[in-house]
Amino acid sequence: MNEPLLRELVPAVIGVLVRRGADFASAEDAVQEALIRALETWPDDPPRDPKAWLVTAAWRRFLDATRAEAARRGRELAVEVEPPAGPAPATDDTLRLYFLCAHPVLPPASAVALTLRAVGGLTTRQIATAYLVPEATMAQRISRAKRRICGLALDRPGDLGTVLRVLYLVFNEGYGGDLDLAAEAIRLTRQLVALTGEPEVAGLLALMLLHHARRSSRTGPGGRLVPLAEQDRSRWDTGLIAEGVTVLQTALARDRLGEYQAQAAIAALHADAPTAAETDWVQIVEWYDELLRLTGSPVVRLNRAVAVGEADGPRAGLAALGEVSPDLPRYAAVTAYLRERAGDLEEAATLYAEAGRAATSVPERDHLTREAARVRRLLRG
């Protein structure tokens, strides 16, 4: 059973049903039923044309459900005649489904869940397991999302930026249960690159690949957080790095710079350095300047201060930090790092401890607490 193929076919099949007159929610439900049937029957009796098989099975499921409610919904005429079975049409509505599932009317969590189900072809149970919530909770979230976009047309151009943000949210969820959401996000972004040819989509793909290449070195025993400078670079996936750099270079050559391309360029400079000491921090600061120009993001300004501290010394980094609000998450941790490098160990220890108490994840809290203890040991001599 080729489950990846099944998932790749899902958005196109949903698009066929919508073109035939089904509303999105009903089409998506029907395709999920067809997927279950495929998983049951294909191992023993694989079809010659998987897409046509899914279209036929899903359309019949839609007709059955609609006819059962025909008297109440008044839709007998719209679905009375079943289109003949045969090769599925070549029209691909996948891109429109990306836009619909990442519609601005949906909150981010709902957009992510709906994208994984309708575009990614995952079951509600798989998504619930990945997000560590009960299946009923995820089913409700997806149902509410479908109700919110019910009636929205598939023929209107969507916001590509919103789609990219949703995919990046999926990627940053990482791994949950038996499902590797980071790998799933990469798969979907590859698909979007092929559909759009947009350099910024390629920039997001490059960024994902470059980050994903380092995942095995990010944590130590017991889930202990390993900072970038301390990671074992021999464990980085050089194949993914090479692919990410190639994708990025192709995108940059289009001369339409976007924030994901700039972020990927920073990631590529980190990946290209044989050791942390050989990192080209001067060029990284230049890319942060571009990213700040594109986004104006306070988080970018905070990260730029770290880069300035590495390129021009900790005092320069602290000066750059003066342009950042102290209320920003990780402000105390960054200040602690720069204070330590500047020799202000007592202040650094206090700030590391403060940052640990404010951390939003256990690995980050434990890491910062260990940093505070390490600096206190240095103070004791």
* Distance of alpha carbon 10 from alpha carbon 54, whole angstroms: 8
Radius of gyration of the chain (CA): 25
Express as a percent the part of the chain with pLDDT over 70.
90
Q: What pLDDT score was predicted for residue 352?
A: 96
Share above pLDDT 90 across residues of the chain, in percent, rounded to a whole number? 52
Mean pLDDT, rounded, of the chain: 87
**Angle of helix 281-295 versus helix 259-272 axis, rounded to 10:** 170
Give residues with Cβ within 8 angstroms of 352, minimum separation 6.
332, 333, 336, 368, 369, 371, 372, 375
pLDDT band at 305, cuts 50/70/90?
A: very high
Asked whether the predicted pLDDT for residue 176 surpasses 80, the reply is: no
Q: Is 180 exposed, middle or buried (0-12, 13-18, 19+ CB in 10 A)?
A: middle
pLDDT at 18: 84
This prediction's pTM: 0.80
Residue type, 271: A
Q: Which residues pair with 176 in a beta bridge?
A: 179
**Of the candidates 228, 317, 356, the residue with the CA atom closest to the CA atom of residue 372:** 356
pLDDT at residue 361 in the model: 86
In this prediction, residue 130 has a pLDDT band, given cuts at 50, 70 and 90, of: confident
CA within 13 Å, CB half, 107: 5
- CA pair distance 190, 209, nearest whole angstrom: 10
| pLDDT at res. 159 | 81
Q: Which amino acid is at 262?
A: A
pLDDT at res. 88: 43
Q: Does pLDDT of 5 surpass 80?
A: no
Tokens of 282: 């001067």
List residues bridging with 180 in a β-sheet: 175
Check residue 228 and give its pLDDT. Answer: 94
The DSSP secondary-structure symbol of 264 reads: H
- Structure-block tokens of residue 378: 């240095």
Please indicate whether residue 112 or residue 245 has the higher confidence score (pLDDT).
245
> Under a CB-based contact definition with an 8 Å cutoff, are residues 113 and 127 in contact?
yes
Q: What is the mean pLDDT of residues 309-324?
A: 96
Q: In which band, very low, low, confident or very high, does the pLDDT at 177 lie, cut at 50, 70 and 90?
A: low
Mean pLDDT of 276-305: 97
AA letter at 244: G
Task: Give the pLDDT score at 360.
Answer: 85
pLDDT tier at 93 (50, 70, 90 boundaries)? low
What confidence tier does 262 reach under pLDDT thresholds 50, 70, 90?
very high
Asked whether 264 and 206 are in contact (CB, 8 A), the reply is: yes
pLDDT at 252: 97
Q: Please return the burial class of 145, using the count of CB atoms within 10 Å of its CB with bins 0-12, 13-18 and 19+.
A: buried
Among 124-128, 142-146, 241-245, 349-353, where is mean pLDDT lowest? 124-128
Is residue 306 pLDDT above 70, yes or no?
Answer: yes
Say yes or no to pLDDT of 149 above 80. yes
- State residue 279's pLDDT score: 97
The tokens describing 42, both together, are 């294909």
- pLDDT reading at 83 higher than 60: no
**DSSP-assigned beta bridge partners for residue 287:** none
Predicted local confidence at residue 44, as pLDDT: 82
Residues 373 and 353: beta-carbon distance below 8 Å: no
**Length of the chain, in residues:** 381
- Cα dihedral sign for 260, 265, 269, 272? positive
pLDDT score for 97: 83
> pLDDT tier at 292 (50, 70, 90 boundaries)?
very high
